[in-house]
Amino acid sequence: EDTVQPVQYVYKDYVKAPASGQYGDARSLKRFFNGNNYRKEWTTPVNLKVFNINKEKGGFTIEGVGGGKQTRTLKLKDKDGREWALRTIDKDPTSAIPQNLRHSFASNIVQDLISAAHPYAPLAIPTLADTTNVLVAEPTFYYVPDDPSLGYYRPLFANKICMLEWKDPEEQTDSKSSFKLFNSMRENNNHTVDQEAVLRARLLDMLIADWDRHFDQWRWVTRDTGHGRLYIPIPRDRDQAFFYSDGLIVKYMANRRIPFLKGLRKRIPDINRLNMVSKDFDRLYLNSLDETAWHRVALGFTEKLTDSRIESAIRKMPEEIFEISGQEIIDKLKSRRDLLMHESLKYYRFLSKEVDILGSNENEKFSISKQNDSLKLTVVSYNKYADTNFVMYERVFDPQVTREIRLYGFNGDDKFEVDSNLHSNIRIRMIGGRGNDSFFIKSRLRSFIYDNVIDTNYVASGRG
């Protein structure tokens, strides 16, 4: 049971309160199995501003409630129409646990293991992100009082520590979800993603051992490129940043079943498994970067992340919290930064074994040619007006790294063309989709063709 004491909101602007009161009462046996984790950070009182919904940022109106299975989010709108989110810091995993286990010993263990997440980690992220040119929103922590102005949502947020965050970190910008972005890219082949910006954001995830980076953890803002829209990623929800547990249960799960729970250590034990939750996201939004580009981005990222910037970031946490484990986290981040280039290139090679390249519902031409001992893929948007055609995708694939490439045409009248005299160990799978697609295979390349309506399409093979 949370033991944070209620504070009369009408009397104080600031109060001293802990992030949660439910992780401190842990005897030696519980600490042996569940870990010491960040219990002190959760239970140490810090000075917090009291949230006044009628005055903060000029006053908010409540738009509704949201959040995932473990956190609650109050959706707010300020007087200028900007959208904000007020999220609880502590979690309630009840809805994520099967109903027949919700009041069991197992439920108590799951709740207690939340102490392995650092409650104040989100405060350090903006400085790390700004240093490495990653776009993020800057959060502010508040104590939410038992305020009648919260109305129907009063029982959900009263007497809790919450984080206020602007939905869109740029003025006059309406961000998209990953789902809406995917649909936009499928309908318009001049809508693309800044993949180097995605990589910088993902390198930050790897640095801070944030393993929970699925599609819902991102928003996207756009830039006009002159012939289309370029999308920039905004990582959100840093609930698992700096995750670490020294308990027997998490150690067992990390070694046997859930390896990404190894968490924030000076080493990066297994970079591929750390990114297990994110690999589908990465396959979609990091598929145009070759090893040279990846190396260049990672080098720039690590060079900008100096010792002083890391220290400055961690000192954004409350002073009482920094004194507990701040220096230890700094030392871990410095060590991980020094290893990040080498380790992230391992992950590059893992992602590059099999690569998916997606077209759109418009017309595309996929051309495969030889470049030295490698295979070059170029995807062009085309129609009868030649001056509107442009290169959507271009990458050279090393057969020592890549085993298979899958090309998806989706709708539209797409063309797939393989040059003559091209030999490679890389398998090519061409998936035409709907539309009148054409396949021109002029070499003995290991290629496979898939299409919805084969009798309306054209296939020409020069393989003899």
Amino acid at 235: P
Q: Which of 228, 150, 219 is nearest to 178 (CA)?
A: 219
Tell me the residue ranges of DSSP E strands in 71-190.
73-78, 83-88, 140-144, 160-166, 176-177
Percent of the chain topping pLDDT 70? 87
Q: Which of 389, 391, 291, 412 is nearest to 341 (CA)?
A: 291
Query: Exposed, middle or buried: residue 174 (CB in 10 Å: 0-12, 13-18, 19+)?
Result: exposed
- Of 133-137, 339-343, 454-458, the least confident: 454-458
Find the mean pLDDT for residues 25-50: 89
Q: What gap in Å lies between CA 212 and CA 355, rounded to an integer?
A: 22
Q: What gap in Å lies between CA 63 and CA 45, rounded to an integer?
A: 31
Q: What gap in Å lies between CA 28 and CA 11, rounded to an integer?
A: 39
pLDDT, tens only, 219-266: 999 988 777 899 999 998 888 999 999 988 888 888 877 888 899 999
Q: What gap in Å lies between CA 329 and CA 416, rounded to an integer?
A: 51
Q: Which of 260, 263, 259, 272 is nearest to 347 (CA)?
A: 272
Q: How confident is the model at residue 69 (pLDDT cuts 50, 70, 90)?
A: low
- Model pTM greater than 0.75? yes
317 close to 326: Cβ distance less than 8 angstroms = yes
Amino acid at 58: G
pLDDT on residue 87: 93
Helix 195-207 with 319-351: angle, nearest 10 deg? 130
pLDDT, tens only, 133-177: 999 989 999 999 999 999 999 999 999 999 999 887 666 567 889
Q: For residue 359, how far is the Cα from the chain centroid?
A: 23
pLDDT on residue 99: 47
Q: What gap in Å lies between CA 94 and CA 69, rounded to an integer?
A: 8
Q: How confident is the model at residue 110 (pLDDT cuts 50, 70, 90)?
A: confident
Does residue 96 surpass a pLDDT of 50? no
DSSP structure class, residue 245: -
Which token pair is 108? 């108590």
CA dihedral sign, ordered 201, 202, 207, 213: positive
Q: 458-461 and 438-441: which strand pairing?
A: parallel
Q: What gap in Å lies between CA 441 and CA 52, rounded to an integer?
A: 67
Does residue 128 surpass a pLDDT of 70? yes
Name beta bridge partners: 190: none
